[in-house]
Structure 1
Amino acid sequence: MTHDKIAAPLAAALADKGYDSLTAVQEAVLADGLEGRDMLVSAQTGSGKTVAFGLAIAPDLLDASQALPPAQEPIGLAIAPTRELALQVARELGWLYGKAGAQVVTCVGGMDFRAEKRALDRGAHIVVGTPGRLRDHIERGSLDMSWLQVAVLDEADEMLDLGFREDLEFILQSAPKDRRTLMFSATVPPEIESLAKDFQRDAQRIVAKGEARQHGDIEYRALNVAARDREPAIFNLLRFYEARTAIIFCKTRANVTHLLARMSNRGFRAVALSGELSQQERTHALQSLRDGRAQICVATDVAARGIDLPGLDLVIHADLPTNSETLLHRSGRTGRAGSKGVSAMIVMPSERKKAHSLLRRAKLDAEWGAPPSADEVLARDNERMLESPVFEADPGDDAELAADLLHRFGPERLAAALIQLWREGRPAPEELTVLQDRPPSEPRQRPEFGDSVWFHLSVGYSGRAEPRWLLPKICDAGGINRDAIGAIRVKTDDSFVQVDAKMAERFGAMTELEPGLEMTRLAEAPDLDAPRGNKPGPRPARGPRSRDERPSAPRPPRKDFGDRTDGKPAKSWDKPARVAKPSEAAFHDAPPADGDKPRKKPRWTAEDKAKRKPRAAVLSADDRPRRKFAKGGKPGFAAGKPRGAKSGKPPRKGK
């Protein structure tokens, strides 16, 4: 293909791959005025982002002659959240820069660290890796970032979700400050904006065209399924579509293991992807899906991040995703590069409201209905059999055998045998419970409350107030039941309650529900549509608040402690002088004089010393009796006396 802003080696590589035109995000990064600038690009999964940033970084890698310099220290870096996505990015950049002679090296967890180090020592133009392994190479000195010209963060939102922010900051801080930084993400939450402000300079925000219409090549279906028919509905979906490759998303590892066992018993060729698998097991599972030995992948959200499977035409949400972003990430595995795909949600009766909320927040329109029945699956099988190209092929050398079979068994028996052979290797469809497809129930409308009076409460969300906490307090204070209370609206700093006009007189102008919580009558209905936290005008006066106006109770008279010993007037905080107890003088040699502090009881009196027994004389070291030592033994044993003889015990073995 030809494009005025694509280098000749890259254009030749795109033409060899069959690229006739560029996608929206690829056109966006090649717009005028973006060469050399940092970019923050949001585009959905499967929109061609890898080729897009491959084209965008070409001016930073190629010289004026559109060639790469000799491979030494890396000048380009691409960071991906998972091993599979990093390897996929390396393959894409490998063929895109293949004609330019680029050396692309991968540094991902789970691979041989020494082999990666040897590849880096030989020289690399572009390094593609995961955050943790890239940081290991930088800390060990095997990856030199001093010559880096451009860095790309692919699926930046997923990397932050997986907790790689600290590693990303370390990697970007190790690179030169004048480098170019490109961030590609399906969504741009506040965390991505904060990361962009820290590590990008005047970044150009790019929103790929068509992003408002999410995944236009994907058909969304929401299937009403009875709780007991959840797994049979999944089996019928797989049988109905007969996709070359399908992926089923579950919420937990346990659900993945359970569903995989059920599918294996039914005869489906399925593999599992979960966090407990080793890298070798993951690679084996993905390879079996790519070469056709397996047809179905059962995975969790984290385990399936970044995988790209060829011919993935069907995505089944066995468990509903937790949020709309996860729904888009799951569904984006299909419908890539202009191909069509189906994203089907299994919705049980208790999950209908959640499913509607997910679709609304993701701005998706789904077709609601029932899963394929057994009859529909069989009918679809018959259509595929009649459309099979084997009926249009020339018999060739098998013409004589075909005529012999037709003569021996007849056309009817031969056709019946063909049908049985066609259905033999396929699991039998399941019988499902038919559910009525009814629209979601509308929110219940409260009837008109009638004549009422509004009251103001002096507590709101900031005081942890909520309707179920206020309702019993209001009922107890007025002696009413909950039927006399209408709406309760809690704001940030205050709240409002609607009370039946007949019962409003029980509260008067102001009622204290508890200390610090007052309920004040309002003359008119408040403006409930005001922004949360705005207070509705001045509150009614609640008594004097200033210090001078506050009524003060009479203070008790101060105690008179007499004059101080130093001759100064006594103060209210002075303690009275301590008076000795009558029995205390008996423990002193002389009574205390007036004005003197009583002396403490001496530790020993003369009489106590006389009664004390004399201590034994301390012997010197020379006067102490010496113990006998056994020859080569320990103190306390006579020479030649066996160990244990003193206590009557037999000597231990070996002594």
Structure 2
Amino acid sequence: MPFSSLPRPIAEALADRGYATPTPVQAQVIEADAHMRDLLVSAQTGSGKTVAYALAIAENLLEGAEFLAPPTEPMALIIAPTRELALQVQRELIWLYAKTGARIVSCVGGMDVRREQRNLANGAHIIVGTPGRLRDHLERGHLLSQSLRAVVLDEADEMLDLGFREDLEEILDATPPERRTLLFSATMPKPIAALAKRYQRDALRIITTSERAQHSDIDYRAVAVAPADIEHAVVNILRFHEANGAMIFCATRENVRRLHAALSERGFHAVALSGELSQNERNHALQALRDRRARVCVATDVAARGIDLPDLGLVIHAELPIDPETLQHRSGRTGRAGRKGICVLIAPYPRRRHAERLMRAANVNAQWEAVPSPQDIRIRDQERLIETLTLGENSDEDLETAAKLLETLDPQQIAAAFARMHRTTLPAPEELFDAGPPPRDEGPRAGFEDTMWFRLNVGRNGNADPRWLLPLLCRRGHITKREVGAIRILATETRFEIPRAISAKFAAALKRTAGEEDGVTIEPADGPPPPQERGAPRGPKRPGAPRPPHRHQPRPYKGRRG
């Protein structure tokens, strides 16, 4: 069904914003079969679902008219899981309903509650809010619900995951039984089905995309790095792609704070989003991204729910998501509304198999590749610079300046100076730690004629690998990779040699850094591994064998979630 069939003010608002044809979910909610019915909708992130349910409830609000009467008690209630999503929905509804005379009020946690009370007292046609704040206004008598004609639950699965079931049930129980209920959810687990069964009547089920189609506009990449190189990998991925907008996901608030500080120090225009920020700080961060004053957002999963940023072309999982649903949600921040996006998963070497299982469960097919090297980045910088120079038109002033430059300098000097000036505006790429292949038995190399052996309590059965062990030894022992000799990975432990001249310094550093890698101990050994152990075949993993801890993350990867 085309937009022209909608009420005139709505159709004009869509045309003014450049909407020519409806997306699949928008088309289905305005079909005749969906007219005035409860809807249970599964739609992928970025499919235009906010506009979809705004179009669906327009008939409840306007009832055939083109303009709304002055506001009194609210006629529609939209519930969203987070402050950012609720405010984003409010902005969408304001432009869509602008020509109908609709008054749209938000009620979200972290904002001035007295101002919200005044707004509710002055009347509103549509209320957009978060469950906790809406319940509070309802219990205090500020939110009058008996005139509601439609209730929308946006990202219902996220609201249940965040523990808002009781809030939602209290709000829905207070609304008129004849109201229309529209439930939008990316997934349909049993709790969502139970909620729909209790509060919806003869709901029309709408599924607009298959699981495979959810990833059709996203180019997935995966890289495996030493745990100590995760931060450097993030830097090089950002520099290689130079997306107009990028979002980096971390697991905890502390990790967001540390990674944001590290990127800002390197010259990236970055903002942070996490639960520890005030609402005002979060609003400023989001506005900086929308105004293009910032191009990189470092966020936790909770803080990034429901955020839709313009031209977000790159998503980086600096820490692996906890489950397939989180992987899909994070990745869905890019590749929205027909635009292409790139998603890069960074997997520490010990967790590569876990990353592969996670992607299989999420129905994601990612291409494994190396982290871009400084040389790769320099080549891309040159290509982008040449492309930039060929675009646009030169003014008379520009041509005059160029002529004066050519009078004093030759073209090669001018080009070199311009390239140098351009390069200084960009953050420098990082050299990653390259552990290289395991050492071979070719006799002691120079400086390792007299060595001392140490041991770790992680072996083959625990996925020990020089690619993550070597950076660990360097970090814990305050040495360089050139000061580590042979590494022998046995079934349940790993032994390695250190020049005796620095062994005391190495052992002292181990005592100072004890506890940094939870579950991994390093201590002096009684000598090299027994000859019969060397090169022993990999056997089946024994139950209870030590495994590399999942906390093998470089700083900044500690802290509370959210």
Normalised by the shorter chain, which TM-score bucket? Answer: 0.7 to 0.9
Give 1:67 deviation, angstroms: 3.2
SS of residue paired to 1:114: helix
C-alpha offsets along residues 380-420 of structure 1, whole Å, 9 cap, x if unaligned?
Answer: 10011001146652241233332221121211111110110
SS of residue paired to 1:181: strand
1:223 aligns with 2:223: yes
Mapping 1:254-269, distance limit 5 Å: 254-269=254-269
Please name the residue that 1:107 is paired with. Answer: 107
Please name the residue that 1:360 is paired with. Answer: 360
Give 1:329 deviation, angstroms: 0.6
Give 1:277 deviation, angstroms: 1.1
Conserved? CA contact 1:214–1:364, under 8 Å? no
Please name the residue that 2:327 is paired with. Answer: 327
Separation of aligned partners in 1, 2:381 and 2:356? 32
Question: Which ranges of structure 1 fall in alignment gaps of 5 or more residues?
Answer: 438-655
Separation of aligned partners in 1, 2:389 and 2:78? 44
Amino acid of the residue matched to residue 31 of structure 2? A
Mapping 1:192-271, distance limit 5 Å: 192-271=192-271
Give 1:362 deviation, angstroms: 1.3
Give 1:174 deviation, angstroms: 0.6
Please name the residue that 1:40 is paired with. Answer: 40
Separation of aligned partners in 1, 2:435 and 2:43? 38
Cα separation, partners in 2 of 1:392 and 1:213, compared to 1, 3 Å: closer
Amino acid of the residue matched to residue 357 of structure 1? R
Bigger mean CA deviation after superposition, 316-325 or 421-430? 421-430
Give 1:150 deviation, angstroms: 0.5
C-alpha offsets along residues 212-259 of structure 1, whole Å, 9 cap, x if unaligned?
Answer: 422311111111222232111110110011112211100112211221
Separation of aligned partners in 2, 1:216 and 1:33? 28
Conserved? CA contact 1:234–1:318, under 8 Å? yes
1:49 aligns with 2:49: yes
Conserved? CA contact 1:225–1:435, under 8 Å? no
Mapping 1:297-446, distance limit 5 Å: 297-389=297-389, 393-433=393-433
Amino acid of the residue matched to residue 204 of structure 2? Q
Separation of aligned partners in 1, 2:393 and 2:374? 31
Separation of aligned partners in 1, 2:26 and 2:55? 8
Give 1:306 deviation, angstroms: 2.0
Conserved? CA contact 1:225–1:347, under 8 Å? yes
C-alpha offsets along residues 143-195 of structure 1, whole Å, 9 cap, x if unaligned?
Answer: 11011000000010111111111100010011001111000011111111111
Separation of aligned partners in 2, 1:421 and 1:223? 31
Bigger mean CA deviation after superposition, 131-140 or 64-73? 64-73
Separation of aligned partners in 2, 1:435 and 1:31? 59
SS of residue paired to 2:384: helix
TM-score by length of 1: 0.65
Please name the residue that 1:71 is paired with. Answer: 71
Conserved? CA contact 2:7–2:64, under 8 Å? no
C-alpha offsets along residues 562-584 of structure 1, whole Å, 9 cap, x if unaligned?
Answer: xxxxxxxxxxxxxxxxxxxxxxx
Give 1:261 deviation, angstroms: 2.3
Give 1:120 deviation, angstroms: 1.5
Separation of aligned partners in 2, 1:297 and 1:435? 30
Conserved? CA contact 2:3–2:22, under 8 Å? no
Amino acid of the residue matched to residue 56 of structure 1? A
Conserved? CA contact 2:250–2:301, under 8 Å? yes
Separation of aligned partners in 2, 1:436 and 1:197? 58
C-alpha offsets along residues 60-98 of structure 1, whole Å, 9 cap, x if unaligned?
Answer: 111223432331111111000111100111111111111
Conserved? CA contact 1:157–1:188, under 8 Å? yes
Please name the residue that 2:162 is paired with. Answer: 162
Conserved? CA contact 1:62–1:69, under 8 Å? no
Separation of aligned partners in 2, 1:294 and 1:65? 43
Count of aligned pairs: 437
Higher helix share: 2
Separation of aligned partners in 2, 1:432 and 1:111? 44
Separation of aligned partners in 1, 2:26 and 2:394? 45
Conserved? CA contact 1:214–1:363, under 8 Å? no
Cα separation, partners in 2 of 1:18 and 1:4, compared to 1, 3 Å: closer
Conserved? CA contact 2:78–2:154, under 8 Å? yes
Separation of aligned partners in 2, 1:395 and 1:278? 46
Give 1:376 deviation, angstroms: 0.9
Conserved? CA contact 2:222–2:344, under 8 Å? yes
Cα separation, partners in 2 of 1:370 and 1:434, compared to 1, 3 Å: farther
Give 1:109 deviation, angstroms: 1.2
Give 1:341 deviation, angstroms: 0.9
SS of residue paired to 1:213: helix
Separation of aligned partners in 2, 1:400 and 1:346? 48
Please name the residue that 2:144 is paired with. Answer: 144
Give 1:4 deviation, angstroms: 5.8
C-alpha RMSD of matched pairs (Å): 1.8
Cα separation, partners in 2 of 1:410 and 1:234, compared to 1, 3 Å: same
Separation of aligned partners in 1, 2:391 and 2:248? 33
Please name the residue that 1:613 is paired with. Answer: none
C-alpha offsets along residues 583-619 of structure 1, whole Å, 9 cap, x if unaligned?
Answer: xxxxxxxxxxxxxxxxxxxxxxxxxxxxxxxxxxxxx
Mapping 1:588-607, distance limit 5 Å: none
Separation of aligned partners in 2, 1:395 and 1:127? 50
Conserved? CA contact 2:225–2:347, under 8 Å? yes
C-alpha offsets along residues 493-523 of structure 1, whole Å, 9 cap, x if unaligned?
Answer: xxxxxxxxxxxxxxxxxxxxxxxxxxxxxxx
Mapping 1:530-569, distance limit 5 Å: none
Conserved? CA contact 1:45–1:332, under 8 Å? yes
Amino acid of the residue matched to residue 358 of structure 1? L
Give 1:312 deviation, angstroms: 1.1
TM-score by length of 2: 0.75
Separation of aligned partners in 2, 1:67 and 1:280? 34
Conserved? CA contact 1:13–1:99, under 8 Å? yes
C-alpha offsets along residues 273-322 of structure 1, whole Å, 9 cap, x if unaligned?
Answer: 11111112111222222222222111111111122222211110000001
Give 1:436 deviation, angstroms: 9.1
Please name the residue that 1:96 is paired with. Answer: 96
SS of residue paired to 2:192: helix
Give 1:108 deviation, angstroms: 0.9
Amino acid of the residue matched to residue 176 of structure 2? P
Conserved? CA contact 1:324–1:359, under 8 Å? yes
SS of residue paired to 1:99: helix
Amino acid of the residue matched to residue 398 of structure 2? D
SS of residue paired to 1:214: helix
Amino acid of the residue matched to residue 315 of structure 1? V
Give 1:334 deviation, angstroms: 1.0
Q: Which has the larger radius of gyration?
A: 1
Conserved? CA contact 1:3–1:11, under 8 Å? yes
Conserved? CA contact 1:44–1:215, under 8 Å? no
Cα separation, partners in 2 of 1:435 and 1:125, compared to 1, 3 Å: farther
Bigger mean CA deviation after superposition, 115-124 or 426-435? 426-435
C-alpha offsets along residues 343-379 of structure 1, whole Å, 9 cap, x if unaligned?
Answer: 1000122111111111111112111111211111111
Separation of aligned partners in 1, 2:129 and 2:406? 61
Separation of aligned partners in 1, 2:389 and 2:77? 47
Please name the residue that 2:530 is paired with. Answer: none
SS of residue paired to 1:40: strand
Cα separation, partners in 2 of 1:395 and 1:102, compared to 1, 3 Å: closer
Conserved? CA contact 1:62–1:68, under 8 Å? yes
1:188 aligns with 2:181: no
Conserved? CA contact 2:211–2:363, under 8 Å? no
Give 1:433 deviation, angstroms: 4.7
Q: With CA pairs under 8 Å and 6+ residues apart, which has the higher RCO, 1 or 2?
A: 2
Conserved? CA contact 2:218–2:335, under 8 Å? yes
Conserved? CA contact 1:370–1:435, under 8 Å? no
Amino acid of the residue matched to residue 26 of structure 1? Q
Please name the residue that 2:22 is paired with. Answer: 22
Conserved? CA contact 1:5–1:30, under 8 Å? no
1:118 aligns with 2:105: no
